[in-house]
Amino acid sequence: MKHSPIKLTFWKGMRDYVPLFVCAVISAALWITREMGKTYEEQLSIPITYTNVPKSLVLVSEFPEKLIVTVEAPGWGILSHYLFGNDEFSIDITKIVATNYSHISTKDPMILAGLGEQLKVLDVYPAEINFSFEKVNSKVVPVKTNVSLSFMQQYELDGDITVSPDSITVYGAKKSIDTIHAVYSKPLEKKKLRNPFSDKVELIPIRNVVFSNESVEISGEVEKFTEQTISIPIKLLNVPNGQVVDLMTEKVSLTFLIGMSKVQSYYPSDFEAIVDFEKLAANGSVPIEIVRYPNFVRIIHQNPMNDGVITNYTDTND
């Protein structure tokens, strides 16, 4: 098999560079080894977790969420920590309570044990952590949701959204829970709905406060809706004695949406429209109010929309 003269020349030329490449790799390795063998100072930001807090007590003092630890170590030691070291400190509160400590030094081996022996600790900020405990208080608060729904054409929410549980118990220091009047769920967004839904949604945590439930079930019935129209009489209220009032409109027309399964479940008598004479305006108009209708319908149009007009106003005492 014949080889192209150009290819042969290329590979012969490349052989001349192999020794240079090997030397470069060895030089780089020696330089990295030398530099990583030097001692460096490094600041590490390490989170703290507080574990085993007794259920009868709550921490009320401000305590740090992380420690800034200044260490000294060879480069290899620092690299090893970033790759394989402990990424958080843990403080066991039961041990703090058992020893009746009100504060501990952050250089305590109990805290820094996870750093390993390669890192020499020079400084820790903050220098100590103060602990103050209080008996747990509790109260029941409602759950508020953040729900965004959109539906397929002709589909609507049938009834109200259900939240289970609709209230929870919060536990914490009296000062903390006194300001809590509700807890809130994380946002829930549902699009193009045509079927009932039920979703487990987490509650937004509150610092230093424990919830009896960390999540709630948010659900709703979805049904195909249709449009219906009815006409109902208008009732007059609060007409002064001795006065006769005629309305231009004796009835009001209502257009509403109703679930297909409930089309046969309503009667005109389920609706009530009134005109309150005490709300008579100077121009002789008065609003028509729909004061009663089934909770499973949604009124989308009223005609007349707002006003009935008084056309005859006679004082029979004249």
Can you give the CATH number for the domain in which 162 is found?
A: 2.170.120.40
Q: Is residue 1 part of a domain?
A: no
> Do both 162 and 186 map to the same domain?
yes
> Do both 86 and 104 map to the same domain?
yes
Give me 272's structure tokens: 């009530």
- Mean pLDDT, rounded, of the chain: 80
Q: Is the pLDDT of residue 310 over 60?
A: no
Residue 258 is predicted with a pLDDT of: 92
Q: Is residue 69 part of a domain?
A: yes
> Do both 123 and 143 map to the same domain?
no
Q: Is residue 123 part of a domain?
A: yes
CA distance 289 to 286: 9
Q: Which of 105, 134, 163 lies at the terminal end of a domain, its last residue?
A: 134
Residue 182 is predicted with a pLDDT of: 96
Q: Is residue 21 part of a domain?
A: no
> Do both 217 and 172 map to the same domain?
yes
> SS3 string of the chain?
CCCCHHHHHHHHHHHHHHHHHHHHHHHHHHHHHHHHCCEEEEEEEEEEEEECCCCCEEECCCCCCEEEEEEEEEHHHHHHHHHHCCCCEEEEHHHHHHHCCCEEECCCHHHHHHHCCCCEEEEEECCEEECCEEECEEEEEEEECCEEEEECCCEEEEEEEEEECCEEEEEECHHHHCCCCCEEECCEEEEEECCCEEEEEEECCCCCCEECCCEEEEEEEEEEEEEEEEEEEEEEECCCCCEEEEECCCEEEEEEEEEHHHCCCCCHHHCEEEEEHHHCCCCCEEEEEEEECCCCEEEEEEECCCEEEEEEEEECCC
pLDDT in tens, 98-130: 766 677 777 777 667 667 667 777 788 888 887
Q: Which of 171, 193, 224 lies at the terminal end of a domain, its last residue?
A: 224
Q: Is residue 5 part of a domain?
A: no
Q: Is the pLDDT of residue 316 over 60?
A: no
> Do both 56 and 121 map to the same domain?
yes
Q: Which of 93, 110, 134 lies at the terminal end of a domain, its last residue?
A: 134
Q: Is the pLDDT of residue 62 over 80?
A: no
Confidence band, pLDDT 50/70/90 cuts, at residue 37: low
Taking a C-beta distance cutoff of 8 angstroms, is the pair 173, 208 a contact? yes
> Do both 57 and 97 map to the same domain?
yes
> Do both 248 and 273 map to the same domain?
yes
CATH number (domain holding residue 57): 2.170.120.30
Q: Looking at residues 223-231, what average pLDDT do you find?
A: 94
316: number of CA atoms within 13 Å, CB side? Answer: 7
Confidence band, pLDDT 50/70/90 cuts, at residue 12: low
Q: Is residue 170 part of a domain?
A: yes
Q: Is the pLDDT of residue 264 over 70?
A: yes
Give me 210's structure tokens: 């424990």
Q: Looking at residues 233-257, what average pLDDT do you find?
A: 85
Share of the chain above pLDDT 70, in %: 76
Taking a C-beta distance cutoff of 8 angstroms, is the pair 71, 106 a contact? no
Q: Is the pLDDT of residue 79 over 90?
A: no
Most confident of 118-132, 183-197, 237-251, 294-308: 183-197
Q: Is residue 92 part of a domain?
A: yes
> Do both 185 and 109 map to the same domain?
no
Q: Is the pLDDT of residue 7 over 60?
A: no
Residue 202 is predicted with a pLDDT of: 97
> Do both 281 and 195 map to the same domain?
no
Domain span at 172: 136-224
Q: Is the pLDDT of residue 311 over 60?
A: no
Least confident of 25-29, 262-266, 284-288: 25-29
Q: Is residue 206 part of a domain?
A: yes
> Do both 199 and 130 map to the same domain?
no
> Do both 218 and 230 map to the same domain?
no
Q: Is the pLDDT of residue 11 over 70?
A: no
Residue 158 is predicted with a pLDDT of: 87
Confidence band, pLDDT 50/70/90 cuts, at residue 15: low
Taking the whole predicted model, whether its pTM rises above 0.75 is answered as: no
> Do both 258 and 296 map to the same domain?
yes
Q: Is the pLDDT of residue 305 over 70?
A: no
What is the number of domains present in the chain? 3
